[in-house]
Amino acid sequence: MFPKRKTLIFQDSFQLTNFLIKKWKEIANESISKNNRFVAALSGGKTPVEFYCRLSGINDFDIWQKTHIFLTDERYVPYDDPRSNLGMIRKNILDYISIPDENIHPMGTYNSDINLSCELYENHIRQFFELEDRCVPSFDFVLLGIGDDGHVASLFPWGKEVHEIDDLVTFSQPEYLDTKRMSMTLAVINNARHVVVLVTGNKKAEIIKKVIEEKEENSFLPATKVAPRNGELLFLLDNPAASKLSYGERFSHDGQAISI
């Protein structure tokens, strides 16, 4: 059992988001007081949209001035394409908060060569964290969703990129997807101080049970490989997503723990 790994189950996505907003503020304030900055990597998809919308309501100028937003992954499309993760994050958060442009770190998707784009983003991360070669950055906060195939970020089952240990940024294009994808590797994700996996809705109940309670027999699923070495791992679920789980810390509507 991982020392800092928890499954928290909330009545609904609104209560889950209340918890996550509080957690975000705690980690941001702790990171800023320690390092004078808060460095987060955000995922795309539909699940985090409610959280992003509510996050945009935090009008704490000082926090946003010292917050840096990276992406865990990106579809290889122009930013104005409706599939763009940066476009979605801009639309739901960045356009409403006082974050300096230089604090937004998108994955570049304009090169015809995606491999070059991965190298450029990796170099940018290394420069930002002032990393020696072969060192891995430690993000303060990484937010992940999970696909019903068990992917996280854009690391897909059976993809060679899942096992990448040297690079910080890789790319993939499973045949069932309409775009190539750039993604941070598990080396980066598992070096973060706080990793949150956000799972809502009954469509995710099956896969999250495999990931949380049947890890061994599903170890090919990238989500089962999310295991921060020294950081905290939080699975945040609403009741529908947790409907097949046997255990987890449940919270009532007023946020009180119900059962462990």
Residues lying near ligand 6PG in the complex (CB under 6 A) are found at 43-47, 72-73, 85, 145-147, 151-154
Nearer to ligand 6PG, 63 or 159 (CB): 159
Nearer to ligand 6PG, 68 or 151 (CB): 151
CB of 120 to ligand 6PG, least distance (A): 19
Side-chain half-sphere exposure of 19, counting CA atoms within 13 A? 25
Q: How far apart are CA 163 and CA 169, in angstroms?
A: 12
CA angle, corner 246, sides to 52 and 236, nearest 5?
A: 10
Side-chain half-sphere exposure of 259, counting CA atoms within 13 A? 5
Residue for token pair 């195939």: 149
Q: How far apart are CA 56 and CA 59, in angstroms?
A: 7
Nearer to ligand 6PG, 131 or 177 (CB): 177
CB of 139 to ligand 6PG, least distance (A): 15
CB of 72 to ligand 6PG, least distance (A): 6
CB of 127 to ligand 6PG, least distance (A): 24
Nearer to ligand 6PG, 63 or 77 (CB): 77
* Residue 11 φ then ψ, to 5°: -60, -40
Nearer to ligand 6PG, 73 or 140 (CB): 73
CB of 208 to ligand 6PG, least distance (A): 11
Q: How far apart are CA 160 and CA 13, in angstroms?
A: 34
